[in-house]
Structure formats: C-alpha cells, structure tokens
C-alpha cells in the first residue's frame, strides 16, 4: 500500500474522504481503532468511517490501499453494519486524546494531542509517535485545558499510554465533535467505554447533553444520567424536550424520578408531571407541551420568525397553533392551526387568525397511538393538536413522536439490514 506520506497523524486524518477504487466517495474517516498493549507494539487495525445515512462502520486497514492528503482509497466490499468497539479496542480520538502520559526522560506529565501511525514492511500499522503538550492540566470551559510546550516524542519514550486517567480531559474530543448533530454525537459516545462517555458528558453543556440524551436508547440514557450528580441531572432534564424528559423519568425508579422532579424548576417540573400522568401510548403521553403557540392577532412575520428557532424540531416548525390567551399550556380556547407553507404566501403584516385551517380536527389526551397514527395518515400532516374537554390546547404530537413509539424502543441500535443483530460479527480475531 502507498501511504502518500511516510507518517499519518490521526487528527489530520479525521474528516478525510474515503474513496472506492473507481473514485466514488464511500464516507469520511471519524476515528482510528487501536489495539493498546502494556508491553509490545501498539497497532492500528482499522478506521471508523461515517457512510451516508450517518452510519459509522468499521473499515479494516487491510482494505485501505492508499492514504494521501485529502483522500483515503479503499478496496473490497465495505461492511455496513454499525461499528461497536470491542473490549480490546481503543478509539484514538475518542479515548486517547487528552490522556496523560509520563515522559520517561524526566518523569514529567504530558497530554496527548495527536497520534502518528506508520506502516511496516509487513503491512502492519503501528503507533510510532505522539504529539504531546506538557504542563499542568487546568479546568476549562470544555472540560480541561493545558498550558506548556508541545513536542513530538517516540511512543517508547512515554509510559502510561494504556492506563486510563482517573480524570481525563475532554476538550479535544468535544472540539472534534463540534459539527456533529446530536444523533451522530450520541452514536459516537455509545461506541466509547462507559467511563470515557461519562467524562465527555460531564464536559458538555446542559443543552448539548440534553439533545444527545434524546437520541440515545433507553438503557444508555439511564446509564449516562446515573453518572451525573442529581443537580446536574435536573438541569439537563430541564433542557430536554418535555415529552422526552417525561419518557426518561418514566423509565427510572419512582423514588429517583421524584427526587429529580423536586430539584427541577417548579414550572418545568409541573409540565413534566402532567405528561407523566398519561399512558405512554396515548395522545397525552406522546405530545409535547411546547409547540409554537400564538394568538389570532399575531402577524405572519412574527410567526415565521418563531419557527426559525434552531431548537425547534422540523415537524413542529411546519405549523403554528392559534389560541386565545393564555398562550402557555393549558391555553385559552383553541382556535385552530395554520400551516407555515400557507403563511409563506401571505403578506407579513396580516393576522395569522385569517389563515386557520378548519379541516384538521383535534385529538383528546386519551386517544390511542393507533388513532393518532390513523389521523396523521388521513390528514397527511406532520403534527396534530391535543385539547382537553374544555377545548384548551394541551400540546401537540409530531410525526417524530409517533415514529419513536411505533418503532422498537431500541431501534437506534439496530442495523437496517438485520434489526435482530445490532453491531458487527464477533467471530474470532480482529475485524474483517
């Protein structure tokens, strides 16, 4: 294999496009899989490649024919099963960046910022160099930061590479994941060891961690929440969508859920308790209490501005719900919904109440999942209102909420080609 360069640094390799032999793009490199050994040579066995659909798969380095600036060339068939690291494997970026090591020359501490791999004559890829920074680790905004001189050292010139830090920083990892969508970051965290996942979660801000938790399977949500102190866990719950927070609390032991609710802000806790009072598969259990709600005199321009919020799910951004005051759920009398597509064709100064769609009926909180699904299909609509017996808006159900309940609860862990067998084959040896 031609490497194009004699030495390949992992941080520079990340994000590089992978091409097949005829030049078609396969995906992008996201990490490098290593086999760490306390004695002997540390080897690289494969790449974690993100293919279309945001699926992260394993590509053995034996299938890589060339690594050059800006491109990786592979050969053979790519196994599209979702990557899941084995106990013997370590992710270079996800788990080694920011790890502390001891420089044997003076027994000082340094922190790994990059790793170099080189191919031997026997086609084996070895870790040969480390780019490290010396100095004291300091608490920073993104977990930990360091100050000190940086240098490249031989891997044999350090000790502790295979030993986990009791408290490892996460700044470099979080920076490398900065452009990841929440679902992609959730998938990346689930590939790491539980301890490393907890370290990164501790360094994420509440809103980012809340978004990530919403994309995780139930058991991973519970496991990660268990690593947070109660006050931080309550803050993260407040940052989550109300229906997702209710679902998560509903999976916890009743005593733990009550303790977290007591730590949340009263108004947030009130809304979540309201949702917990409904059956999981009912309209009340499916709905969110925070759709876009406006009064009938609100202008078209204001409505369009409200749905531009980044945090608003696309399905809920497709319409606004018009009510009499108060505008917080449960609202005043529900008037109807207005499609954003309709408002795009109207004058900005017009009142939204002029464009209510009278054809869409409401749901009751006790309606079943089957009824909700049937109604959505009948109206070919992305969200539906839920009202109480006094015609007050309680919330709205989006197509995302319905799909999450129609699919198996652990669907995020399954491959599309074989939903019964998540992960990769584990028969013997390294990946093939």
Q: What pLDDT is recorded for position 105?
A: 93
Query: pTM value?
Result: 0.70
Give the mean pLDDT of the chain: 88
> Tell me: the pLDDT tens digits for 240-256?
999 999 999 999 999 99
pLDDT at 210 over 90: yes
Nearby residues of 416 by Cβ (< 8 Å), 6 or more positions away: none
- At 110-119, the pLDDT tens digits run 999 999 999 9
Confidence of residue 414 (pLDDT cuts 50, 70, 90): low
Closest C-alpha to 13, from 157, 161, 118, 139? 118
**Is residue 146 scored above 60 in pLDDT?**
no
Q: 400 and 297, same structural domain? A: yes
Q: For 327-370, how does the pLDDT look when each residue is reduced to its tens digit (9 = 90+)?
A: 999 999 999 999 999 999 999 999 999 999 989 999 999 999 99
Task: Output the pLDDT for position 149.
Answer: 86
Longest dimension (CA), the chain: 78
Q: Measured between alpha carbons, how far is residue 248 from residues 14, 203, 260, 280 in Å? A: 33, 21, 11, 11
Once rounded to an integer, what is the mean pLDDT over residues 123-142? 77
What CATH code is carried by the domain that includes residue 19?
2.30.30.240
Q: Is residue 419 predicted with pLDDT exceeding 70?
A: no
Residue 123 lies in a domain: yes
- Domain assignment present for 147: yes
Is residue 431 a part of any domain in this protein?
A: no
CATH (domain of 209): 1.25.60.10
Task: Evaluate whether residue 44 is within a structural domain.
Answer: yes
Instruction: Choose one of 229, 256, 282: the last residue of a domain.
Output: 282
* Model pLDDT for residues 53-68, shown as the tens digit of each residue: 778 899 999 999 999 9
CB-facing half-sphere around the CA of 28: CA atoms within 13 A: 11
Task: Assess if residue 422 is contained within a domain.
Answer: no
14: nearest Cα among 113, 99, 111:
113
Task: Find the domain containing 62 and state its range.
Answer: 8-84
Kindly state whether residues 359 and 316 are assigned to the same domain: yes
432 inside domain: no
* CA 169 – CA 196 distance, rounded (Å): 9
Q: How far apart are CA 360 and CA 379, in angstroms?
A: 7
Answer yes or no: is pLDDT of 421 > 50: no
- Phi and psi dihedrals of 253, rounded to 5? -55, 145
As given in the structure block, the two tokens for residue 45 are: 């066995």
297 and 367 assigned to the same domain:
yes
Structural domains counted in the chain: 4
256 and 305 part of one domain = no
Domain boundary among the residues 263, 282, 301 is at 282
pLDDT of residue 411: 58
Query: 354 with 270, same domain?
Result: no
Whether the CB-CB separation of 79 and 62 falls below 8 Å is answered with no
Residue 245: closest CA among 263, 271, 278: 271
Q: Which residues contact 193 (CB under 8 A, 6 or more apart)?
A: 85, 95
Same domain, 57 and 148: no
Same-domain check for residues 401 and 298: yes
Half-sphere exposure of 354 (CA within 13 A, CB side): 13
Q: Looking at 262, 282, 302, which one is the last position of a domain?
A: 282
**pLDDT, tens digit (0-9, with 9 covering 90-100), for 254-290:** 999 999 999 999 999 999 999 999 998 999 999 999 9
Tell whether 378 and 317 lie within a shared domain. yes
Domain annotation covers residue 342: yes
């Amino acid at each position: 294999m031609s490497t194009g360069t004699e030495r390949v640094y992992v941080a520079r390799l990340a994000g590089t496009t992978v091409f097949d032999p005829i030049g078609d793009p396969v995906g992008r490199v996201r990490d490098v899989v290593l086999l760490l050994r306390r004695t002997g040579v540390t080897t690289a066995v494969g790449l974690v490649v993100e293919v279309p659909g945001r699926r992260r798969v394993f590509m053995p380095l034996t299938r890589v024919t060339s690594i050059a600036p800006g491109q990786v060339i592979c050969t053979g068939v790519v196994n599209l099963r979702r990557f899941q690291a084995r106990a013997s494997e370590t992710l270079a970026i996800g788990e080694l960046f920011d790890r502390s090591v001891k420089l044997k020359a003076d027994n000082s501490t340094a922190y790994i910022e990059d790793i170099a791999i080189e191919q031997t004559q026997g086609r084996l890829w070895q870790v040969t160099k480390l780019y490290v920074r010396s100095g004291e680790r300091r608490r920073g905004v993104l977990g930990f930061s360091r100050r000190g001189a940086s240098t490249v050292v031989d891997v044999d010139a350090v000790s502790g590479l295979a030993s986990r830090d009791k408290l490892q920083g996460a700044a470099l990892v979080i920076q490398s994941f900065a452009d990841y969508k929440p679902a992609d970051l959730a998938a990346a965290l689930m590939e790491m060891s539980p301890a490393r996942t907890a370290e990164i979660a501790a360094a994420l801000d509440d809103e980012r961690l809340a978004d990530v938790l919403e994309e995780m399977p139930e058991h991973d949500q519970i496991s990660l929440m268990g690593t947070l102190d109660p006050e931080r866990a309550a803050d993260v719950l407040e940052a989550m969508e109300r229906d997702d927070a209710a679902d998560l609390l509903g999976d916890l032991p009743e005593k733990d859920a009550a303790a977290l609710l007591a730590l949340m802000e009263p108004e947030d806790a009130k809304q979540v308790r309201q949702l917990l009072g409904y059956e999981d598969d009912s309209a009340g259990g499916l709905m969110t209490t925070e759709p876009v709600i406006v009064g009938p005199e609100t202008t078209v321009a204001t409505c369009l501005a409200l749905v531009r919020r980044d945090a608003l799910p696309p399905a809920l951004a497709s319409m606004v719900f018009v009510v009499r005051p108060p505008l917080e759920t449960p609202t005043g009398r529900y008037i109807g919904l207005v499609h954003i597509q309709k408002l795009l064709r109207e004058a900005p100064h017009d009142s939204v109440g002029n464009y209510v769609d009278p054809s869409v009926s409401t749901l009751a909180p006790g309606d079943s999942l089957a009824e909700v699904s049937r109604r959505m299909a009948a109206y070919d609509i992305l969200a539906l209102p839920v009202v109480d017996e006094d015609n007050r808006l309680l919330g709205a159900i989006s197509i995302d909420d319905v799909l999450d309940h129609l699919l198996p609860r652990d669907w995020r862990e399954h491959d599309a080609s074989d939903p019964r067998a998540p992960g990769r084959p584990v028969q013997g040896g390294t990946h093939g």
